Amino acid sequence: MNFFFDVTKTDPTGARRGRLTTPHGAIETPVFMPVGTQATVKGLTQGALEELGAGIILANTYHLYLRPGHELIRKLGGLHQFISWRGALLTDSGGYQVFSLSELRKMTDEGVRFRSHLDGSEHLLTPEKAAEIQLALGSDIAMVLDECIETPAPREKAEEALKRTTEWAKRARNYFLEQVTRNGDLPQWQFGIVQGATFADLRRESARQLLDLDFPGYAVGGLAVGEPHELTCEMAGEVTALLPKDRPRYLMGVGRPEQLADYVALGIDMMDCVLPTRAARHACIYTTEGRVLIKNARYAQDQRPLDPNCSCSVCRRYTRAYLRHLFAAGELTAAILATHHNVHFYLDIMRQIREAIEFGNLANFSSEMHARYTLGPA
């Protein structure tokens, strides 16, 4: 298989510099992965993502299964070809989306039965089916189906979800390995997902159970869903302490700009979040001076770039005054430009994080980020 993960350097915090090699390129880690839920990062063309230096993006199994359908994508040569993306792709399993988007969800040991949020049609998503869909999509990294629960969760419910998540992980792994037995090595890595809500012992238990399944990489799921940042970090730390050092760790669905370094310090290698793209569409701009809510009247005559310290193509060319006008006028171009900048901002933080690890200096970087976002203009 054309898959490798190498840790090249560690930082006193526990952070790791590494390189994740996939059939679609090598990715320097820690990495932030822009989210392209429906096979597009909202507001960015694939060319723009390349310009931004994104080496890996996310897509979503639930969405693509429902529309346009994984069989169609398989027939058209897989997701990379369908969207014309030469970089790496990671697909989420759909567990979270079934939980958050679909109607009449019914969870059984077999899988989850749900109605599509698009047309109300009924579907059954099983661990095997989620793995099959992702093999059809041909993503470089596939996630197993897990059971997501509301938080804060009662312990009993968290235990049940953990148990089911492990059972499902076994079935997903078996399905995947059967395909390998049948077809030889597959151009895909399958990652397990550690659950356990906010209970440290359940998190550890979940991790240990998944380790037995020998996944090439492990994700931490069900966090950053409303609990305090410190608790997110505590739970993630419980898990990473148990995970093998030679395999990538992915913290799902994080985070705010000032939090990224904290997660990295816990030994996280991969992260994804809709925040930079979603915030951009809502006129919330991330900058080295803090958040800029660009619709604010104070920016009407502001001839500075969105971020005076940013080197992205938007900051090199356009003013805050112009962006404010575009948002006020409800223009498409507003979302395009703001998204471009925000994604650049996230990817640039990751470049700085990687550099800080090289210099063994991540703790300082992390403090600076928190100060900036606490003290900076709202």
Q: Which of 211, 318, 363, 373 binds its own copies (CB under 8 A)?
A: 318
Question: Is residue 39 at the binding interface for its own copies, with CB under 8 A as the rule?
Answer: yes
Which listed residue (45, 108, 364, 367) binds its own copies by CB under 8 A?
45
On whether the CB atoms of residues 260 and 368 are closer than 8 A, the answer is: no
Q: Which is nearer to its own copies, 337 or 353 (CB)?
A: 337
Give the number of other CB atoms < 10 A from CB of residue 115.
Answer: 15
Does 101 help bind its own copies (rule: CB under 8 A)?
no
H or E segment to which residue 349 belongs = helix 332-358
- Distance of closest approach, residue 62 Cβ to its own copies, in angstroms: 13
Task: Give yes or no for residue 151 binding its own copies (CB under 8 A).
Answer: no
CB of 187 to its own copies, least distance (A): 21
Query: Quick one: how far is CA 3 from the chain centroid?
Result: 19
The active-site residue out of 262, 272, 307, 348 is 272
Binding to its own copies by CB under 8 A, coded x per residue (else -) over 319-338, reads x-xx-xxx-xx-xxx-xxx-
One of 10, 313, 352, 361 touching its own copies (CB under 8 A): 313
Nearer to its own copies, 21 or 319 (CB): 319
Residue 27 CB, shortest distance to its own copies, in Å, is 22
Cβ–Cβ < 8 Å for 366, 261: yes
Q: Is 212 a catalytic residue?
A: no
Question: H or E element: which one contains 343?
Answer: helix 332-358
* Minimum separation from the CB atom of position 291 to its own copies (A): 22
Which of 92, 146, 262, 307 is an active site residue? Answer: 92
Q: To the nearest whole angstrom, how small is the minimum distance from the Cβ of residue 33 to its own copies?
A: 17
- The nearest distance, CB 334 to its own copies, in angstroms, is 8
Longest dimension (CA), the chain: 64
Q: How far is CA 360 from CA 16, 256, 261, 349, 352, in A?
A: 10, 23, 13, 16, 12
- Closer by beta carbon to its own copies, 48 or else 177: 48
Binder to its own copies among 30, 43, 94, 138 (CB under 8 A)? 43
- Tell me if 10 sits within 8 A of 129, measured CB to CB: no
Q: Quick check: 47 binds its own copies (CB under 8 A)?
A: yes
Instruction: Work out whether strand 270-272 and strand 88-92 pair parallel, antiparallel, or are unpaired.
Output: unpaired
Binding-site size, its own copies (CB under 8 A): 40
Q: Rule CB under 8 A: choose which of 14, 21, 23, 42 binds its own copies.
A: 42
User: Near its own copies by CB under 8 A, which window of 37-45, 89-97, 107-115, 359-367?
Assistant: 37-45
Look up 92 and say whether it is catalytic. yes
Continuous segment of H or E residues that includes residue 113: strand 112-115
Q: How far is the CB of 297 from its own copies (least distance, A)?
A: 11
If one asks whether residue 116 binds its own copies (CB under 8 A), the answer comes out as no
User: 282-311 mask for its own copies (x: CB under 8 A)?
Assistant: ------------------xx-x--------
Around Cβ 108, how many Cβ atoms within 10 Å?
Answer: 10
Alpha helices in 53-154 (DSSP H): 61-66, 70-75, 79-83, 95-101, 127-137
Partnered with residue 114 across adjacent β-strands are 123
**Residue 9 phi, psi (nearest 5):** -165, 145
Please spell the DSSP secondary structure of 180-248, one letter per residue: HHHHSS-S-EEEEEE--TT-HHHHHHHHHHHHTT--SEEEE-S-SSSS-HHHHHHHHHHHHTTS-TTS-
Q: Within 13 Å and on the Cβ side, how many CA atoms surround 35? A: 18
- Residues present in the chain in total: 378
Q: Which of 4, 72, 201, 214 binds its own copies (CB under 8 A)?
A: 72
Which residues does the annotation mark as catalytic? Answer: 92, 272
The binding site for its own copies (CB under 8 A) comprises 38-47, 63, 67-68, 72, 75-77, 82-84, 300-301, 303, 313, 317-319, 321-322, 324-326, 328-329, 331-333, 335-337
